[in-house]
């Protein structure tokens, strides 16, 4: 017998079965091999049971299925650069080594997408895109060594995330092998997912919810110009003040990075990058974008630096100098390792206005514990990285550094921040989770883990504190799973049956009146949902009352439908049970408004218009423009993820909401996220709530990221010869270096509807000459905002592409007013049957063929259709009007329901075939009874149901109104 055969025979049966799946050489079981995998970039070690190299999704699935069968825990592993111990295999877990799944599978530039495997190094993604003039924005300093899978798991950030956002803002879809081996896609190629934002909650889940085996990324055009400045500061606090001043001046550099004197010297010792060794701190500021305006912005920044007393500020003269500065910044952690045998990186984040105070207190902690501290951090995001230097061989040192690290995190929380900006909780910050979250918050996060991984096999012992009992080999399925937990269970159909009501409505009204006061109960509401009258209305005055109502409803098994301003009562499916209409409009006020930190928290009942006005009063912009801003509340808008034309520049709700408070179905009050720009403290349940249609809880407060008010805005109104021409022009703009705030193509019927809406607002499409907005031609609306020189260049460039006639250009308030009226051109809210509104979300380039098909299909069927294409988001909004030529949306006649139903079903099929989805946003009553407003989200629906079951086990909230009959 050969030695290898002998070894094979001796291996345990698990090893043999694993080798049968991945090949003999791809399973490591020798201790000497396993030792290479017993650590990551954190301080702890733990020997894995085995290491398995995987090469394909099928292999991962087969391996995970086998491990699940045996009840063996496992940990996916990328580059092993994690700093919080996330990749360490606790409880003798098996390591799944993902590094060989490292290919670019597809680059789809027309749709600005890329499909990659998870083992690819972050830097290799941008290297692959470089010759094509594109890049992938999240750029952790570790980008040469960390993998995309690890970035997804940690929601990694990087210097450029100040302007462009973190990983979750750039990942649209993820293929995941769930902890039982099932393969599902979360999200997809289009913006905005159907159903819960599972992509959003998976990103940042630290490898505890499943194994990412592929991801669809957003890729960006490389900026036309870049300018890098180095400010030499007299103190680290001075640097902090400059950051605040730059943000306060309304400037948005691509990066704002800081290093202190100890770091500067370590970097210079190790790689001589040209940083001034005597400086107390340096601030690395990079601007990118169009050439026009860049010099002016740089001058503005230089002036701010000088006004704040910097010793020197210089501009990198060429690419070599710029590259040297970045080499130093990105190599800083490595350089610091020369200073001491070990360091602990504290990754707390504070509102950026608190940076100077946080830095002062960190220095004081260093002195108190007699530890040298080196600081290098993402100053623009308020994300500190004090590196506490020590020698792990000395027990005393180890104890001090752990205690000091926890104190640093406590300081961050005290100042309104959180305990992790980008490195995750791992095992390092399990205790620190309790500095931020109470038991109710943690319990809600545990629902997420339980829904994905009921047996706790996937990367156990991470993220959530508490007894992390090692799953025993052969552990049996959890009770939830054993009971089926809805997995694969047939979807409850959209309600065709009569709606159930509380049997004795008046008794319920009396009980609520006793609980809240008679004035808070509406015994004869006039509101209906899809023609089903609300039996009883209730208006809680505050979160406590709301909690009491839901606790009662939960005990009694009531069906509670939730509404804010009522603008979206026509959205979603008919309720399966309807005992109570809970209105949040009396939840009022702002718990914080911080102009310099660019954040604001408002109670759920505030309208968008009110919040916008409050932001404007401090010189900031609320980056939201949903329908009916005068009526729509921020709770309702967040729960429906409604975003309008300005989404091209601002992104969706998921890009602008920093945190939420909510009351769950059982009445418990929970919070997720916070006020900081970066936050990976626990699961991103905030994302799960955005667009969840009230199915998981009732939002009581939302915290938003604000934006500086742009120096200039311009809206170009361009008449088109055809829809096709609009598609070509829009594609040219998207492929260019221009960054539109809005890019919409609207049909003649939509122009007429907008004009009517505008007339109501006292302006006729902003006063555009009627030969342009004549109501007979398609129009392209392209809006730009920013520095006046940048906006000027954008307008000139677009005008140059348009050969026949110069477009109309509206400026500032006039531009804003037209964009606002666009939002009000749909069916009238709360007027049942006033129109049918559909929204398809598609990969960018698919939107045009879809819109053509919709328009010609409607024409053939005799439905006059208003059509609006959000070219930069891939959305197609369709409103079915009444009589041909009618300026306002109007219901089709009663007998058209079957025809309309066929038409909408056909469109939905087309959207799905093109990689998107279509939802009925309003007017379900115009379609046949039982028509599903949402469509089928595919195999991930099982996961969604398990999440719903955990959060709302009795189906109290908006029963059956959401996706999949949830």
Ligand X SMILES: Cc1cc2nc3c(=O)[nH]c(=O)nc-3n(C[C@H](O)[C@H](O)[C@H](O)COP(=O)(O)OP(=O)(O)OC[C@H]3O[C@@H](n4cnc5c(N)ncnc54)[C@H](O)[C@@H]3O)c2cc1C
CA–CA separation, 474 and 459 (whole Å): 16
Nearest distance from residue 15's CB to ligand X, in Å? 21
CA–CA separation, 65 and 74 (whole Å): 11
Indicate whether 459 belongs to the interface with ligand X (CB under 6 A). yes
Residue 410 dihedral angles phi and psi, to the nearest 5°: -65, -40
Choices 207-215, 560-568, 698-706, 941-949 (CB under 6 A): range interacting with ligand X: 207-215
CB burial string 722-760: b at 16+ within 10 A, e below: ebebbbebbeebbebbbbbbbbbbbbbbbbbbbbbbbee
Query: CB burial class (10 A; 0-12, 13-18, 19+) of residue 882?
Result: middle
Cα–Cα separations (whole angstroms), residue 132 to 119, 226, 523: 22, 18, 63
Indicate whether 146 belongs to the interface with ligand X (CB under 6 A). yes
Indicate whether 157 belongs to the interface with ligand X (CB under 6 A). yes
Indicate whether 386 belongs to the interface with ligand X (CB under 6 A). no
Choices 104-112, 135-143, 611-619, 891-899 (CB under 6 A): range interacting with ligand X: 135-143
Indicate whether 326 belongs to the interface with ligand X (CB under 6 A). no
Q: Which of 206, 237, 428, 441 binds ligand X (CB under 6 A)?
A: 206
Q: Which of 80, 626, 697, 829 binds ligand X (CB under 6 A)?
A: 80
Indicate whether 358 belongs to the interface with ligand X (CB under 6 A). no
Nearest distance from residue 458's CB to ligand X, in Å? 8
Check if the beta carbon of residue 737 is closer than 8 Å to that of residue 224. yes
Q: Which of 74, 333, 693, 784 binds ligand X (CB under 6 A)?
A: 333
CA–CA separation, 206 and 423 (whole Å): 9
Residues paired with 599 in a beta bridge: 594, 705
Cβ proximity to ligand X: between 123 and 541 the closer is: 123
Indicate whether 86 belongs to the interface with ligand X (CB under 6 A). yes
CA–CA separation, 203 and 11 (whole Å): 36
Q: Which of 28, 54, 66, 83 binds ligand X (CB under 6 A)?
A: 83
Indicate whether 195 belongs to the interface with ligand X (CB under 6 A). no
Nearest distance from residue 342's CB to ligand X, in Å? 13
Q: Which of 212, 252, 451, 485 binds ligand X (CB under 6 A)?
A: 212
Q: Which of 140, 651, 826, 829 binds ligand X (CB under 6 A)?
A: 140
Q: Which of 18, 22, 29, 40 binds ligand X (CB under 6 A)?
A: 40
Indicate whether 211 belongs to the interface with ligand X (CB under 6 A). yes
Cβ proximity to ligand X: between 177 and 669 the closer is: 177
Indicate whether 423 belongs to the interface with ligand X (CB under 6 A). yes
- Kindly report each contact of residues 723-726 with a partner whose C-beta sits within 8 Å and lies 24 or more positions away, as own/partner: 723/747, 723/778, 723/848, 723/851, 723/852, 723/855, 723/867, 724/848, 724/852, 725/778, 726/778, 726/780, 726/848, 726/869, 726/871
CA–CA separation, 366 and 340 (whole Å): 15
Interface with ligand X in residues 845-874 (CB under 6 A): none
Closest CB to ligand X: residue number: 150
Size of the site for ligand X (CB under 6 A): 37
DSSP label of 124: H
Indicate whether 168 belongs to the interface with ligand X (CB under 6 A). no
CA–CA separation, 442 and 459 (whole Å): 18
Choices 78-86, 181-189, 823-831, 857-865 (CB under 6 A): range interacting with ligand X: 78-86
Choices 16-24, 82-90, 519-527, 933-941 (CB under 6 A): range interacting with ligand X: 82-90
CA–CA separation, 258 and 233 (whole Å): 10
Choices 134-142, 391-399, 557-565, 770-778 (CB under 6 A): range interacting with ligand X: 134-142
Indicate whether 75 belongs to the interface with ligand X (CB under 6 A). yes
CA–CA separation, 458 and 448 (whole Å): 13
Cβ proximity to ligand X: between 128 and 553 the closer is: 128
CA–CA separation, 386 and 374 (whole Å): 6
Q: For the chain, give me the number of helices (H) and strands (E)?
A: 32, 39
Check if the beta carbon of residue 425 is closer than 8 Å to that of residue 154. no
CA–CA separation, 303 and 158 (whole Å): 26
Interface with ligand X in residues 334-353 (CB under 6 A): 334
Choices 149-157, 225-233, 251-259, 715-723 (CB under 6 A): range interacting with ligand X: 149-157
CA nearest neighbour of 417 among 46, 675, 193: 675
Q: Which of 48, 73, 78, 644 binds ligand X (CB under 6 A)?
A: 78
Indicate whether 76 belongs to the interface with ligand X (CB under 6 A). yes
Q: Which of 43, 87, 201, 267 binds ligand X (CB under 6 A)?
A: 87
Indicate whether 843 belongs to the interface with ligand X (CB under 6 A). no
Nearest distance from residue 151's CB to ligand X, in Å? 4
Check if the beta carbon of residue 341 is closer than 8 Å to that of residue 391. yes
Q: Residue 47 corresponds to which tokens in the numbers above? A: 């020997």
Choices 77-85, 291-299, 446-454, 626-634 (CB under 6 A): range interacting with ligand X: 77-85
Nearest distance from residue 413's CB to ligand X, in Å? 20
Indicate whether 158 belongs to the interface with ligand X (CB under 6 A). yes
Choices 11-19, 156-164, 554-562, 956-964 (CB under 6 A): range interacting with ligand X: 156-164
Residues sharing a CB contact under 8 Å with residue 591, sequence separation 6 or more, in sequence order: 601, 602, 603, 701
Angle at 166 between CA 225 and CA 251, to 5 degrees: 45
Choices 141-149, 771-779, 780-788, 829-837 (CB under 6 A): range interacting with ligand X: 141-149
Indicate whether 81 belongs to the interface with ligand X (CB under 6 A). yes
Indicate whether 142 belongs to the interface with ligand X (CB under 6 A). yes
Indicate whether 98 belongs to the interface with ligand X (CB under 6 A). yes
Q: How far is CA 781 from the centre of its chain?
A: 26
Q: Which of 48, 73, 150, 181 binds ligand X (CB under 6 A)?
A: 150
Indicate whether 946 belongs to the interface with ligand X (CB under 6 A). no
CA–CA separation, 53 and 71 (whole Å): 19
Q: Which of 26, 62, 112, 118 binds ligand X (CB under 6 A)?
A: 118
The secondary structure of 308-365 as a DSSP string is TT-SEEEE--SHHHHHHHHHHHHTHHHHHTTTSSEEEE---B--GGGHHHHHHHHHHH
Residue 25 dihedral angles phi and psi, to the nearest 5°: -70, -10
Hey, is 385 helix, strand or coil?
Answer: coil
- The beta-strand segments (E) located in 191-247 are 211-218, 220-221, 225-233
Choices 10-18, 76-84, 181-189, 792-800 (CB under 6 A): range interacting with ligand X: 76-84
Nearest distance from residue 679's CB to ligand X, in Å? 12
CB burial string 918-931: b at 16+ within 10 A, e below: bbbbbbbbbbeeeb
Q: Which of 26, 111, 126, 151 binds ligand X (CB under 6 A)?
A: 151
CA–CA separation, 788 and 775 (whole Å): 31
CA nearest neighbour of 67 among 89, 90, 86, 93: 93
Indicate whether 141 belongs to the interface with ligand X (CB under 6 A). yes
Nearest distance from residue 424's CB to ligand X, in Å? 6
Indicate whether 382 belongs to the interface with ligand X (CB under 6 A). no
Indicate whether 829 belongs to the interface with ligand X (CB under 6 A). no
Indicate whether 387 belongs to the interface with ligand X (CB under 6 A). no
Indicate whether 82 belongs to the interface with ligand X (CB under 6 A). yes
CA–CA separation, 610 and 821 (whole Å): 17
Choices 142-150, 366-374, 627-635, 684-692 (CB under 6 A): range interacting with ligand X: 142-150
Q: Which of 48, 79, 697, 937 binds ligand X (CB under 6 A)?
A: 79
Nearest distance from residue 385's CB to ligand X, in Å? 8
- What residue ranges bind ligand X (CB under 6 A)? 40-41, 75-83, 86-87, 98, 118, 140-142, 146-147, 149-151, 153-154, 156-158, 206-207, 211-212, 333-334, 422-423, 459
């Amino acid at each position: 017998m050969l030695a290898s055969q002998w070894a094979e025979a001796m291996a345990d049966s698990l090893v043999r079965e694993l080798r049968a799946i991945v090949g003999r050489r791809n399973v490591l079981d020798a201790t000497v091999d396993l030792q290479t995998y017993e650590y990551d970039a954190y301080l702890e070690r733990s020997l894995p049971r085995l290491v398995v190299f995987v090469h394909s999704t099928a292999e991962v699935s087969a391996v995970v299925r086998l491990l699940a069968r045996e009840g063996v825990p496992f940990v996916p592993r990328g580059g092993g650069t994690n700093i919080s111990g996330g990749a360490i295999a606790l409880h003798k877990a098996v390591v799944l080594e993902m590094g060989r799944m490292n290919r670019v599978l597809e680059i789809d530039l027309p749709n600005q997408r890329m499909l990659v495997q998870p083992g690819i190094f972050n830097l290799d993604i941008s290297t692959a895109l470089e010759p094509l003039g594109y890049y992938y924005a999240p750029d952790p300093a570790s980008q040469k060594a960390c993998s995309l899978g690890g970035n997804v798991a940690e929601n990694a950030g990087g210097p450029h995330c100040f302007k462009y956002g973190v990983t979750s803002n750039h990942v649209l879809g993820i293929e995941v092998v769930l902890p039982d081996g099932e393969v599902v896609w979360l999200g997809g190629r289009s913006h905005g997912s159907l159903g819960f934002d599972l992509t959003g909650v998976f990103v940042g889940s630290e490898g505890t919810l499943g194994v990412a085996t592929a991801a669809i990324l957003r890729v960006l055009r490389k900026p036309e110009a870049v300018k890098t400045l180095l400010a030499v500061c007299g103190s680290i606090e001075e640097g902090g003040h400059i950051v605040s001043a730059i943000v306060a001046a309304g400037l948005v550099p691509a990066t704002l990075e800081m290093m202190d004197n100890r770091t500067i010297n370590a970097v210079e010792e190790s790689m001589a990058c040209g940083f001034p060794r005597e400086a107390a701190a340096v601030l690395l500021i990079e601007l990118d974008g169009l050439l026009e305006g860049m010099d002016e912005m740089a001058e503005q920044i230089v002036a701010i630096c000088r006004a704040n007393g910097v010793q020197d500020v210089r501009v990198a003269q060429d690419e070599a100098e710029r590259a040297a500065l970045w080499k130093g910044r990105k190599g800083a952690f490595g350089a610091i390792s020369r200073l001491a045998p070990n360091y602990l990186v504290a990754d707390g984040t504070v509102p950026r206005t608190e940076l100077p105070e946080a830095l002062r207190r960190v220095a004081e902690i260093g002195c108190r514990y007699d530890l040298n501290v080196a600081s290098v951090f993402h100053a623009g995001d308020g994300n500190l990285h004090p590196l506490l230097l020590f020698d792990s061989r000395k027990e005393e040192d180890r104890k001090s550094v752990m205690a000091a690290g926890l104190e640093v995190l406590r300081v961050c929380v005290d100042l309104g921040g959180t305990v992790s900006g980008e490195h995750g909780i791992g095992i390092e910050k399990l205790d620190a989770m309790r500095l931020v979250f109470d038991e109710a918050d943690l319990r809600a996060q545990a629902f997420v883990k339980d829904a994905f991984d009921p047996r706790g096999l996937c990367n156990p012992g991470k993220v959530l504190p508490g007894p992390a009992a090692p799953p025993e080999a052969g552990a049996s399925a959890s009770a939830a799973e054993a009971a089926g937990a809805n997995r694969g269970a047939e979807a409850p159909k959209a309600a065709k049956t009569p709606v159930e009501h509380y049997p004795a409505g008046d008794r319920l009204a009396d009980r609520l009146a006793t609980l809240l006061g008679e004035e808070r109960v509406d015994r004869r509401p006039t509101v209906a949902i899809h023609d089903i009258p609300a039996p009883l209305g209730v208006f809680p005055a505050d979160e406590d009352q709301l909690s009491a109502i839901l606790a009662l409803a939960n005990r009694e098994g009531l069906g509670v439908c939730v509404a804010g301003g009522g603008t979206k009562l026509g959205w979603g499916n008919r309720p399966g049970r309807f005992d109570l209409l809970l209105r949040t409009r009396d939840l009022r006020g702002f718990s914080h408004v911080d102009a310099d930190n660019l954040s604001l928290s408002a109670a759920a009942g505030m309208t968008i218009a009110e919040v916008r006005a409050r932001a404007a009063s401090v010189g900031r912009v609320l980056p939201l423009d949903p329908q009916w801003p005068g009526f729509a509340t921020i709770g309702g808008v967040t729960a429906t993820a409604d975003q309008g034309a300005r989404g091209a520049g601002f992104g969706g709700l998921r890009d602008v909401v920093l945190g939420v408070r909510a009351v769950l179905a059982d009445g418990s009050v929970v919070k997720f996220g916070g006020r900081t720009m970066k936050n990976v403290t626990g699961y991103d349940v905030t994302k799960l709530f955005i667009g969840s249609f009230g199915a998981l809880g009732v939002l009581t407060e939302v915290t938003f990221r604000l934006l500086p008010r742009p120096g200039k805005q311009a809206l170009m109104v361009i008449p088109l010869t055809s829809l096709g021409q609009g598609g070509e022009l829009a594609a040219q703009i998207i492929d260019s270096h221009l960054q539109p705030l809005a890019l919409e193509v609207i049909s003649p019927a939509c122009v007429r509807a907008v004009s009517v809406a505008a007339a109501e607002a006292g302006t006729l499409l902003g006063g555009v000459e009627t030969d342009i907005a004549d109501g007979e031609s398609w129009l392209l609306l392209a809006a730009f905002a920013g520095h006046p020189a940048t906006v000027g260049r954008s307008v000139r460039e677009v005008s140059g592409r348009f050969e026949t006639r110069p477009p109309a250009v509206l400026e500032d308030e006039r531009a804003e007013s037209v964009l606002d009226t666009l939002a009000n051109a749909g069916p009238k809210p709360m007027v049942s049957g006033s129109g049918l509104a559909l929204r398809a979300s598609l990969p960018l380039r698919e939107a045009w063929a879809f819109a053509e098909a919709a328009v010609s299909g409607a024409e053939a069927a005799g439905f006059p259709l208003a059509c609006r294409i959000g070219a930069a988001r891939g959305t197609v909004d369709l409103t079915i009007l009444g009589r041909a030529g009618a300026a306002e949306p109007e219901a089709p006649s009663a007998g058209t329901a079957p025809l309309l139903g066929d038409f909408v079903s056909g469109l939905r099929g087309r959207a799905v075939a093109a990689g998107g989805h279509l939802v009925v946003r309003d007017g379900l009553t115009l379609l046949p009874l039982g028509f599903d407003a949402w469509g089928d989200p595919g195999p991930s629906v099982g996961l969604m149901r398990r999440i719903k079951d955990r959060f709302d086990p009795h189906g109290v909230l908006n029963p059956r109104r959401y996706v999949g009959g949830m």
